[in-house]
Amino acid sequence: MQVSVEFLGRTRVCAGDKEISVSRQSISFLAYLVLFREIDHPREVLIEQFWSSSEPTRARSCLGTALSRLRNVLKVSGSSCLEFSSRGEPRISVSSQVWFDIVAFETGIAPSLAASPGRLEPALVNGLATALNHYRGDLMLGWYDDWVLVERERLRVLCLRGYRRLMEHYSAARDLENALAAGLSALRIEPLQELVQQHVIELYSVSGQRAAAIRQYDRLAQLLKSELGISPSKATRDLIERIRLDLPLRSSASWAPNSEPT
């Protein structure tokens, strides 16, 4: 039976089609192990992270109970998702048969971001699109621990980079419809990415949707004014002016989809 764990958007654990009831503490503890799955976790560090307010003996007992619960709940064909170092330090097993959306998301995006600029191979495009579909929302909505907030922002930026890379691929392939869809998906997550806004405005224009390009610019100008108290950059203003005057558009080759969103 397939066991899957989702942390992106609504957090849940499922065995097949049935959702399993797991405590909030266990979900948080499991998410920490999955997000930092490359390392063995000293028990003292885990206790400090999750049970620092408890008396030492009680804290060690809580850790043991948490590990035992995860071993029992997340077991596929008799195999646990946890493994332990020779010092008893837990980590997520590299051979775990449990499906984690975070792992699928990160590993699916990485190859496309590492690829050369421009068009991607079909397998990379499919992997990137599938990975982005796993991002159903920000990490662990409703949790506000410091480490969650840091990881939430990291994964959010990774998602934005993924959509920008997908937009670059489709733009290079002259698939304007899918390029525009990727850009709009990125803007739904973070509308203040002015470089993406520029590219979306340009895509609207070159696909014959001049009025939509102007509306997109107007929404951006209003958003920048209300959120940041600034106007669109000169490059964006020049772009919309050329569109309004029906002049040829300059090349967008300098657009850098793999850079950090701005």
Whether 261 has a pLDDT exceeding 80, the answer reads no
Going along the chain from its start, the domains and CATH numbers come out as: 3-97 (1.10.10.10), 101-244 (1.25.40.10)
Q: Pick the closest to residue 65 from 73, 53, 75, 76 (CA basis).
A: 73
Rounded to whole angstroms, the Cα distance separating 152 from 186 reads 16
Q: What is the pTM of this model?
A: 0.90
> Given this model, what pLDDT does residue 236 score?
97
Whether 233 has a pLDDT exceeding 50, the answer reads yes
Whether 74 has a pLDDT exceeding 90, the answer reads no
Give burial (CB, 10 Å; 0-12/13-18/19+) of 2: exposed
With pLDDT > 90 as the criterion, what percentage of the chain qualifies?
Answer: 86
> Given this model, what pLDDT does residue 73 score?
85
> Given this model, what pLDDT does residue 250 score?
66
Confidence class for position 251, pLDDT limits 50, 70, 90: low
Whether 253 has a pLDDT exceeding 80, the answer reads no
